Amino acid sequence: MKVYCAGPLFNDKEKEEMAEIAAALQGRGFDVFLPQRDGLELSKCIDALADSGVDRQSACDCLSKAIFALDVYQVVEECDAIVVNLNGRVPDEGAVAEAALAWYAGKTMVAYKADVRTAFNGYDNPLVMGLFGFRACSSISQIADELQEIAQKGFQELLTVERKAEIESLLSFGKRIWHVLCESDNESEIVHVLMDQAGFPRK
């Protein structure tokens, strides 16, 4: 079972935390793709391309496309699951892009967040947390426990059944909200839609 570890990698502390997550998963027997260790290193590759006679701008463009292609391949095809480290004032934008790819591809997904900072007065961005069913592990050992439990049941490609049903439900819910917004600016109409979706009884 192979797990993609996504998260911020822009300073030593962030790299240490990502390495700790990867080590915890490997300790439980998971194969892990860790971009800082297993991906393309920007500076080395640019220098190597320059040594081959490629100008710096072309080298950067070429490498950017290669990094994107490698990540898409690992997330969508090579890995069975993704763990996304959401720590930071805001989540790392690259990790969020990888999470969105994994969600749409139907992969098993686990969020990790031990950081108390949030985007909206105690709430994280719903467009990010929705990818994880609005749940996140608060410790690295909890990540490994959750993936171990999933592995014992057997990893599966969810897109064909469960994720497809989830996407259809979200599309239907979003469509209902959009129609109300187009037809009326009355908040009570939107509240009715929200209550119906959540199964709250109307007064």
Helices (H), strands (E): how many in the chain? 9, 4
CATH fold label, 2-153: Rossmann fold (3.40.50)
Q: Please give the helix or strand (H or E) that residue 32 lies within, else none.
A: strand 31-33
Percent of the chain topping pLDDT 70: 95
Report the mean per-residue pLDDT for the chain: 88
Residue 155 has pLDDT above 70, yes or no: no
Tens of pLDDT, residues 124-133? 999 999 999 9
Q: What is the pLDDT of residue 156?
A: 62
Angle at 84 between CA 81 and CA 88, to 5 degrees: 175
What pTM was estimated for this model as a whole?
0.82
Residue 151 has pLDDT above 80, yes or no: no
Q: What's the burial of 7, exposed, middle or buried (CB within 10 Å: 0-12/13-18/19+)?
A: buried
Q: What is the pLDDT of residue 2?
A: 94
Q: Where are the domains of the chain?
A: 2-153, 162-198
Find out whether 21 and 49 touch, Cβ atoms under 8 Å.
Answer: no
Question: Which is more confident, 193 or 21?
Answer: 21
User: What three-state secondary structure class fits 80?
Assistant: coil
Neighbours of 142 (CB within 10 A): 15
Query: How many residues make up the chain in this entry?
Result: 203
Q: What is the pLDDT of residue 180?
A: 85
- Nearest alpha carbon to residue 181 among 199, 173, 128: 173
